[in-house]
Amino acid sequence: MDTRRLEAFVKVVDLGSVSRAAKLLNIAQPALSQQIASLELDFKRKLLDRSARGVRPTEAGQILYRYAKSIQRQIEEARRTILDNPSELTGNVTIGLAPLSSATLLATPLVMQVRERFPGIVLHIYDSFGIVLSEMMLKGSMDMAVLYGDRPVTGLDYKPLMREPFFLVAPRSMVSEQPQSESVSVAGVAQFDLILPYRESFLRQTVERVCAEVGLRPRIVAEIHSQSTLSSAIAAGIGATVLPLSIANVLPNQDELCVRRIDAPAASLQMSLCISDNAALSDAAFAVYKILLEIIAKTWGSSVALLHSGDVAPDAASAPPSDESDL
């Protein structure tokens, strides 16, 4: 198969427009439409749905898109390995880390270890809100991710790592009149002015869910996605927030903060490691995957290491049925 047709198809899906893709690829729109029609003829399936709002991949188109992205990455890896440094493992590896979670603390040791052991590998790390990590995994634009959730989804394999509990983090000035305790009830959380990330985030959804279970609504006064801005807002006394303990412990001015575990079983989320269930990891991605597992085991305990012993396979297509998660 002509890989240029696959490249054209991927570009159309990414841009949601045949005309914009043709312009970017510097080819005539009728010629690009013919390439898509040729692919549909080869696969005997309609690959794109066209409407006034643009084009979207059909179910068959989504499958082809994932494989096409994987083929593109493998070609890039081969080109880089052959041309840049044939004696050294090289390539780009893309990783997602759930923002405002313990996963973000894996970034620095991972970059250091990869830099030391495989200097030819370039890491691309996403830990920002607004990026739906599971969607990037499904599209084939991300190699692996550490994120929240455990809902089954076709095409992705989620390996459970740990369950992360959440804590109320508030300025001491806001809790000085309340009795000292290591935990706080959900009703107690609902009494605070809260600063939380946007509604689609798993952390925000968890806070709203545990409050709803006791017939309450959280009093959200601001949505802040940046950890540094969130820290500044708390220090200024604007409100409290909810975070994993690991993130609360790295906030500045610890002596001015009160950190209490939320006393509710549902005030926690499953953390999982995600890889594709359809496409094999490249050699570079496989090397990073093994390093990531080492760091996770060292950071989160031996149970994670035992969970994954003998389970690291370069061909993700052989993985067991999947679970889904996200931010």
Domain with CATH 3.40.190.10 in the chain: 82-162+269-326, 165-268
Neighbouring C-beta atoms of residue 263, cutoff 10 Å = 17
Residue type, 103: A
Average pLDDT in the chain = 83
* pTM greater than 0.85: no
Q: What is the pLDDT of residue 208?
A: 95
Tell me the pLDDT tens digit for each residue of 143-166: 999 988 776 677 788 888 999 999
Residue 110 has pLDDT above 90, yes or no: yes
Query: Which one-letter DSSP state was computed for residue 284?
Result: H
List the beta strands (DSSP E) in 226-314.
241-244, 257-262, 268-276
Planar angle of CA 297, 276, 141, nearest 5 degrees: 105
Whole-angstrom distance, CA of residue 214 vs CA of residue 281: 44
Q: Tokens in use for 142?
A: 């991300």
* CATH T-level topology, domain 165-268: D-Maltodextrin-Binding Protein; domain 2 (3.40.190)
If DSSP codes are grouped into helix, strand and coil, which group holds residue 313?
Answer: coil
Residue 304 has pLDDT above 80, yes or no: no
List the single range of 52-66, 167-181, 194-208 with lowest mean pLDDT. 167-181
Residue 73 has pLDDT above 90, yes or no: no
Domain with CATH 1.10.10.10 in the chain: 3-64
CATH H-level superfamily of 82-162+269-326: Periplasmic binding protein-like II (3.40.190.10)
Crossing angle, helix 107-117 and helix 283-300, to 10 degrees? Answer: 130
Residue 8 has pLDDT above 70, yes or no: yes
Handedness of CA 66, 70, 76, 79 (dihedral sign): negative
Q: What is the pLDDT of residue 158?
A: 86
Q: What is the pLDDT of residue 24?
A: 83
- Please provide the CATH number assigned to the domain covering 3-64: 1.10.10.10
Tell me the pLDDT tens digit for each residue of 223-277: 998 888 998 999 899 999 999 999 999 898 888 899 999 999 899 999 999 888 7
Residue 311 pLDDT level (bands cut at 50, 70, 90): very low
